[in-house]
Amino acid sequence: MKFTDGYWLKRKGLTVLHPAQLRDSQADEKSLTVYAATKPVRSRADTLDTPLITIRVEAPMPDVVRVTIGHFLGGVPHGPNFAIATEDHPVTVAGTALTSGRLTARFQAGDRWGLDFVAEGRRLTGTGWRGMGVVDTADGEHYVHEQLDLGVGEAVYGLGERFGPFVKNGQSVDIWNEDGGTSSELAYKNVPFFLTNRGYGVLVDHPGKVSFEVASEMVSRTQFSVAGQTLSYLVIYGPTPADILRRYTALTGRPALPPQWSFGLWLTTSFTTPYDEETVTSFVDGMAERGLPLSVFHFDTFWMREFHWCDFEWDPAIFPDPPGMLKRLHDRGLRTCLWINPYIAQRSALFVEGAEKGYLVRKANGDVWQWDRWQAGMGLVDFTNPEARSWYAGKLATLVEMGVDAFKSDFGERVPTDVVWHDGSDPERMHNYYTQLYNQVVFDVLVSLKGENEAVLFARSATVGGQQFPVHWGGDNSATYESMAESLRGGLSLMSSGFGFWSHDIGGFEGRPDPAVFKRWVAFGLLSSHSRLHGNHSYRVPWLFDDESVEVLRSFTHLKYSLMPYLWEAARQAHEQGLPVMRPMVLGFPDDPAVTYLDRQYLLGGDLLVAPVFSEGGEVSYYVPAGRWTSLLSGEVVEGPGWRHETHGFGSVPLLVRPGAVLPIGNRTDRPDYDHADGVTLRIFEPAEGSTAVRVGDSTFTVTRDGTAVRVERDGAALPWRVEIVGGRSAELGAGDASWVAG
């Protein structure tokens, strides 16, 4: 939201108060509060009719500082609120400065107003002249804004899943969940958090609408604003992007660890396609006959009767024996997933029940809020009501007990603001936050009935903290190369916002992909954390495209399953540290300025570079950081730093291994869930002097190179393990590749 008319003037009808002079302060052991006059005070007379702005600084965690800006402080607080963790730690308050860990918030004294954020002797950012502002409009609306300085070459990342340019500089972004597809400024997963390549991140602690102007209104500042009389934000020191994400997810929650089977290939019925058990069986049989290992089968919307979504009852005309069908699928080694959403159609028997018991959101006059978009006369489950949560969870529990393994928790973005919530929540604040309640209810059902290590969602909407309930997918994309690229941008943006696991509809949701698009997307999809074949009006089984599609899908599915020892460790890093499985290049190479704007390639885990091909002819350009990288598929050594321009067939993609990596390769290609340490091969690429430890399953392998000797230990035991030394062009290791059994 913009408030200025150029650099000097305000927009017509606005009155804006800015801190001008620090007049007073008070402190305790854990916080510092300053009072700033909105004009210079030269005499006692200047204190009359002069508003004060109150700024409170505190520290919830080491290297994190919270700033709360307030004008009128007598308002009644309304929820919901983000769950922000705190940690008891030393905080130093000295004069007008507060220090938490290595991060200091320091107010400028005297006639010059300012607040600087300093870490390890370096100013990260700060707010100065006309940075903070309290805005009144001619219509009686109130806003608070803050502006933080951007340095030369500073790039801003994050703000949730955004499909435009990966670097947010120059963009206006409203944090407001919408069902807008993947080709516009709207997004399903809005997160008021960003990080920069200057060593810090910022979380705006407001669950409702937050308006960002990133080097747009003021080209050397990032501005964020909220409606009301107060604004609270947290500055998080890194210094690296990975460090920032570790601290951000420590504050807002880290992802649960999805079960190993969820990393396998998912196949769905697609959305509006006709299907029944015979169709499902034909798909499963077709995959098996062609040697395509499938892990999960997903039933989309029409497992229920038309106009009844959601009543959680199988359509008896199509599925006369759901428990038997689920068992038959389980007997074939498959897990199952069902589509759900939080809306209750008027035709559903649950509508009457929910309305009578107060489980549906109501308008101010007491009527159930309804509309005809999506489902005729639908209402919305009020998850602020504990009884409504239990009611909804009970319906899901029945399905889990029947044999369902996972839920695709679709929607959660179409949340009205002209309603009254059971717990009195503010409708504006609840709009984005609704998805957090929704996905938590669904996730908790799976945890309670299947166990903590077996729970997984396929969710579309999210906000701050939503990363705790994986997995999320990118929404309704299209069957084009352009949409494939925008999906990747959205995923990288989400990964920069604290989310560890992400997927997308392979082949695109809208439209039927031509075989070339499908095959290119298969490689990208199987080199993502989670992999699902899904569409709208057409099926996504590969033999409907061409024979080569079957071969490409088989090849990349086998590749992913063989990489599971490596991917599982990346998943555990997401769970334990908050580092995403799919990582923007800037996360892995923060000191390389060439990666600042890269959004058509990524790191899969810490050691694999992936550059999806976005063209039918296979032309691809990508950047290789410094060092001798090795193609995992061809064995070719690629020297960096520099750009590569290559042409790849449908069965190939740039997939490079970082020099010095120890890559564990599993011994199975038929499923993702197996004993990853059993028969594992450790492939060492351009081995470096010294020791490298790698977790594989429940074991730790330590690879040590000392001159020409390579030693491998498993949990401290020096036994023979299979090791392949790849590269090693130095005199010590001899020329060419070598396969060693080290002991």
Render pLDDT for 427-440 as a digit per residue (tens, 0 to 9): 999 999 999 999 99
Calculate the alpha carbon distances from 420 to 59, 123, 147, 243, 411 in Å. Answer: 34, 45, 33, 40, 20
- Indicate the DSSP class of residue 197: T
Query: Average pLDDT in the 487-512 region?
Result: 98
Residue 735, pLDDT > 50, answer no
State the chain's maximal CA–CA distance in angstroms.
Answer: 88
The pLDDT > 70 percentage for the chain reads: 97
426, 476, 486, 569: the active-site residue: 476
Q: For residue 709, what pLDDT band results from cuts at 50, 70 and 90? A: confident
Query: Given 146, 161, 410, 673, which residue is catalytic?
Result: 410
Q: At what angle do helices 386-402 and 427-450 cross, to 10 degrees?
A: 40
The token duo for 630 is 């090795």
Residue 62 C-beta-side C-alpha neighbours within 13 Å: 8
Task: Identify the pLDDT of residue 719.
Answer: 64
Nearest to 673 by CA among 404, 453, 492, 406: 453
What pLDDT is attached to residue 721? Answer: 61
**How far is residue 246's CA from residue 622's CA, in Å, rounded to a whole number?**
28
Give the pLDDT confidence score for residue 686 in this predicted structure: 82
Whole-model pTM: value is 0.96
The radius of gyration computed from the CA coordinates of the chain, to the nearest angstrom, equals 27
**Active-site residue, from 149, 179, 205, 413:** 413
Check residue 201 and give its pLDDT: 98
* Residue 194, strand partner residues: 158, 202
Six-digit token string for 562: 């063989």
Q: How far is the C-alpha of 406 from the C-alpha of 383, rounded, in Å?
A: 20
Each residue's pLDDT tens digit, 43-65 = 999 999 999 999 999 999 999 99
Q: Give the angle 38-40-45 at the CA atoms, nearest 5°.
A: 95
The per-type count for the chain, helices as H runs and strands as E runs, is: 11, 44
pLDDT in the model for residue 565: 98
Per-residue pLDDT at 250 exceeds 60: yes
342-369: average pLDDT:
97
Task: With CA atoms as reference, report the closest residue to 177 among 439, 528, 550.
Answer: 439
Read off the pLDDT of each residue in 689-709 and give the average, rounded to a whole number. 88
Residue 720 banded pLDDT, cuts 50, 70, 90: low
- Orientation angle between helical segments 481-495 and 515-526, nearest 10 degrees: 20
When pLDDT is averaged across residues 101-127 and rounded to a whole number, the result is 95
Q: Between these two residues, 111 and 482, which has the higher pLDDT value?
A: 482
Res 159 pLDDT > 90: yes
How deeply is 637 buried, as exposed, middle or buried, from its count of CB atoms within 10 A (0-12, 13-18, 19+)? middle
Residues 6+ apart with CB under 8 A from 96: 22, 25, 32, 34, 106, 107, 108, 109
Amino acid at 430: M
pLDDT, average across residues 491-505: 98
Q: pLDDT for 561-601, tens place per residue?
A: 999 999 999 999 999 999 999 999 999 999 999 999 999 99
Distance from C-alpha of 367 to C-alpha of 355, rounded to nearest angstrom: 9
Residue 283 has pLDDT above 90, yes or no: yes
Give the list of residues 6+ apart from residue 201 with CB closer than 8 angstroms, or none. 158, 193, 194, 195, 235, 236, 238, 244, 245, 247, 248
Q: Give yes or no for residue 226 having a pLDDT over 50.
A: yes
DSSP 444: H
pLDDT at residue number 730: 30
Separation between Cα atoms, residue 164 and residue 184, nearest integer Å? 7
Q: Is 2's pLDDT higher than 50?
A: yes
User: In 169-268, which residue ranges form alpha helices assigned H by DSSP?
Assistant: 241-252
Please report, for residues 59, 173, 248, 270, the alpha-carbon distance to residue 85 in angstroms, rounded to integers and kept in the order given: 11, 26, 10, 40
Q: What is the mean pLDDT of residues 138-149?
A: 97
Look up 410 and say whether it is catalytic.
Answer: yes
How many whole angstroms separate alpha carbon 533 and alpha carbon 298? 10
Residue 74: pLDDT band (50, 70, 90) is: very high
pLDDT tens readout for residues 207-224: 999 999 999 999 999 999
Q: Is 476 a catalytic residue?
A: yes
Cis peptide before 293 (omega within 30 of 0): no
Query: Domains in the chain, please, with CATH?
Result: 14-76+85-142 (2.60.40.1760), 260-338+386-415+427-577 (3.20.20.80), 677-742 (no CATH)
C-alpha span between 332 and 322 (Å, rounded): 16
User: Which pairing describes strands 171-175 and 221-227: parallel, antiparallel, or unpaired?
Assistant: unpaired
pLDDT at residue 462 greater than cutoff 90: yes
Token pair for 302: 């029409």
Cα–Cα distance measured from residue 52 to residue 46, given in angstroms and rounded to the nearest whole number: 12
Rounded to 5 degrees, φ, ψ at 622 are -150, 160
> What tokens does 321 get?
């024996």
3-state secondary structure of 10: strand
CA–CA separation, 426 vs 208, rounded Å? 9
In whole angstroms, give the CA distance from residue 91 to residue 94. 10
- Measured CA distances, 252 to 60, 84, 99, 247 (Å): 12, 5, 21, 9
Show Cβ contacts of residue 127 under 8 Å, excluding neighbours closer than 6 positions. 114, 115, 146, 147, 148, 149
Q: Is the pLDDT of residue 743 over 60?
A: no
Angle CA(515)–CA(521)–CA(522) in degrees, nearest 5? Answer: 90
Q: Do residues 539 and 282 touch, judged by C-beta distance below 8 A?
A: no
Report which DSSP code applies to 614: -
For residue 704, the model assigns a pLDDT of 87
Q: How is residue 34 written in tokens?
A: 């300053």
Distance from C-alpha of 413 to C-alpha of 21, rounded to nearest angstrom: 42
Q: What is the mean pLDDT of the chain?
A: 95
Q: Provide the pLDDT for residue 110.
A: 77
Is it the case that residue 103 has pLDDT exceeding 90?
yes
Pairing of the two strands 221-227 and 502-503: unpaired
Alpha-helical segments (H) within 378-513: 386-402, 427-450, 481-495
Question: Given CA atoms 245, 247, 253, 259 in this order, what sign does their dihedral have?
Answer: positive
Per-residue pLDDT reduced to its tens digit, 549-571: 999 999 999 999 999 999 999 99
Higher pLDDT, 651 or 687: 651
**Angle, vertex CA 481, rays to CA 475 and CA 486, nearest 5:** 45
Which candidate, 514, 601, 523, 590, places its Cα nearest to that of 555? 523
413 among known catalytic residues: yes
Crossing angle (nearest 10°) for helices 322-331 and 386-402: 60
